Amino acid sequence: MKDIKKKPVILYVDDEPENLTNFKFAFRKHYTVLLADSAKKGAEILAKEPVQVVLSDQRMPETTGVEFLESLASKYPHIIRIIITAYADIDAVIGAINRGKVYRYVKKPWDMEELKQTLDKALETYALQQENKRLVEELKEANENLEEKVRQRTRTIEEQKQALEEQSLMLQKYAKQQEQFLADTSHEIRTPMNAILGFTKLLLKGELTDKQKQYIQNIETSAENLLVIVNDILDLSQIEHGKLNIERIPFDLKDSIQKAFNTMTEKASQKAIDFQIHLDDKLPKVVMGDPVRLNQIIINLLGNALKFTEKGKVELIVKRCKSKEETPDLSAILLQIKDTGIGISKEKQDRIFDKFTQSDADIFRRFGGSGLGLAITKKLVNLLKGAISVDSEIGKGTTFSLMFQFEEVDKLRLLKRQSKAKEVSHEELRGLHVLVVDDNQLNKVMAVEMLKSLNLPMKIETAHNGSHAIELIGEKNYDIVLMDLRMPDISGMEATKFIRQELPEPFKSVPIIACTANASKSEEKKCLEMGMNDYLSKPFMPEQLFEKISTLIHRRVAA
If the CB atoms of residues 289 and 373 are measured against ligand ADP, the closer one turns out to be 373
**Rounded Cα–Cα distance for residues 162 and 288 (Å):** 47
What is the distance between the alpha carbons of residues 478 and 465, in angstroms, rounded to a whole number? Answer: 17
Q: Which is nearer to ligand ADP, 126 or 308 (CB)?
A: 308
Torsion, Cα of 249, 252, 254, 259 (10° steps): -80
Taking CB under 6 A as the rule, does residue 369 contact ligand ADP?
yes
How does 32-45 read in b/e, with b if 16+ C-beta sit within 10 Å?
bbbbbbbbeebbeb
| 340 touches ligand ADP by CB under 6 A | no
Q: For residue 105, what is the DSSP state? A: E
Q: Binding ligand ADP by CB under 6 A: which of 398, 440, 443, 491? A: 398
Q: Which stretch binds ligand ADP (CB under 6 A): 195-203, 335-343, 434-442, 550-558?
A: 335-343
> What is the CB neighbour count within 10 angstroms for residue 352?
21
Least distance in angstroms from the C-beta of 356 to ligand ADP: 9
Residue 142 CB burial class (10 angstroms; 0-12, 13-18, ≥19): exposed
Q: Which of 52, 63, 238, 359 binds ligand ADP (CB under 6 A)?
A: 359
Q: Which stretch binds ligand ADP (CB under 6 A): 5-13, 87-95, 356-364, 498-506?
A: 356-364
363 binding ligand ADP? (CB under 6 A): yes
Q: How many residues sit in the footprint of ligand ADP (CB under 6 A)?
A: 22
d(CA 121, CA 106): 13
Q: Cα separation of 256 and 248, whole Å? A: 14
Residue number with the shortest CB distance to ligand ADP?
Answer: 369
Q: Which is nearer to ligand ADP, 51 or 314 (CB)?
A: 314
Q: Which of 71, 69, 43 is nearest to 56 (CA)?
A: 69
Can residue 374 be called a binding residue for ligand ADP (CB under 6 A)? yes
Q: How far is the CB of 346 from ligand ADP (least distance, A)?
A: 13
Which range binds ligand ADP by CB under 6 A, 41-49, 126-134, 275-283, 372-380?
372-380
Minimum distance of ligand ADP from residue 384's CB (angstroms): 18
From 81-89, 137-145, 351-359, 522-530, give the range in contact with ligand ADP by CB under 6 A: 351-359
Name the strand (E) or helix (H) holding 307: helix 291-307
**Cβ closest to ligand ADP, residue 230 vs residue 532:** 230
DSSP assignment of 478-501 equals -SEEEEES--SSS-HHHHHHHHHH
Among 192, 284, 371, 474, indicate the residue that binds ligand ADP (CB under 6 A): 371
> Between β-strands 313-321 and 387-393, what pairing exists: parallel, antiparallel or unpaired?
unpaired
Secondary structure (DSSP) of 405-457: EEEE--HHHHHHHHHHTPPPPGGGGTT-EEEEE-S-HHHHHHHHHHHHHT---
Q: Does 373 bind ligand ADP (CB under 6 A)?
A: yes
User: Rounded to 5 degrees, what are φ and ψ at 389?
Assistant: -145, 165
Closest approach, Cβ 370 to ligand ADP, in A, equals 5
Q: What single-letter amino acid sits at 53?
A: V
Closer residue to ligand ADP (CB): 31 or 261 = 261
Pick the closer one to ligand ADP by CB: 297 or 512: 297
Q: Which residues of 490-527 are buried (b: 16+ CB within 10 A; e: fewer)?
A: bbbbbbbebbeeeeeeebeebbbbbbbbbbbeebbebb
CA distance linking residue 69 with residue 398, whole number of Å: 103
Determine which residue in the list 370, 405, 518, 551 makes contact with ligand ADP, applying CB under 6 A: 370
Binding test (CB under 6 A) with ligand ADP, winner from 42, 65, 289, 341: 341
Give the separation between CA 362 and CA 154, rounded to whole angstroms: 55
Q: CB of 267: closest distance to ligand ADP in angstroms? A: 13
How many whole angstroms separate alpha carbon 479 and alpha carbon 499? 14
* Least separation in angstroms between CB 393 and ligand ADP: 10
Output 374 or 414, the one with its CB closest to ligand ADP: 374
> Site mask, ligand ADP, residues 291-320, x = CB under 6 A?
-------------xx--x------------
Residue 123 touching ligand ADP (CB under 6 A): no
CB of 381 vs ligand ADP, minimal distance in Å: 13
Check: CB of residue 100 under 8 Å from CB of residue 72. no
Q: Which of residues 65-84 bind ligand ADP (CB under 6 A)?
A: none
Contacting residues for 182 by C-beta, under 8 A, at least 6 apart: 233, 234, 237
CA 201, CA 219: separation in Å to the nearest integer?
Answer: 10
In the complex, what is the shortest distance from the CB of residue 221 to ligand ADP, in angstroms, rounded to a whole number? 15
Question: Which stretch in 10-18, 188-196, 342-350, 528-536 sits in contact with ligand ADP by CB under 6 A?
Answer: 342-350
Q: Which among 547, 421, 442 is positioned nearest to 484, based on CA atoms?
A: 442
Q: Is 273 in the site for ligand ADP (CB under 6 A)?
A: no
The reply to whether 424 sits near ligand ADP by the rule CB under 6 A is no
Contact of 73 with 81, CB cutoff 8 Å: yes
The CA-to-CA distance between both ends of the chain, in Å, stands at: 121
- Nearest to ligand ADP of 388, 495 (CB atom): 388
Pick from 189, 197, 342, 515 the residue near ligand ADP by CB under 6 A.
342
**CB 315, min distance to ligand ADP, A:** 12
Which residues inside 469-488 make contact with ligand ADP, applying CB under 6 A?
A: none
74-82, 119-127, 339-347, 461-469 -> range binding ligand ADP (CB under 6 A) = 339-347
Taking the least distance from each CB to ligand ADP, the nearer of 374 and 388 is 374
CA nearest to 467, candidates 495, 507, 505: 495
Coil, helix or strand for 182? helix
Does position 339 interact with ligand ADP (CB under 6 A)? The reply is: yes
Where along the sequence are the contacts to ligand ADP (CB under 6 A)? 304-305, 308, 339, 341-344, 352, 357-360, 363, 369-375, 398
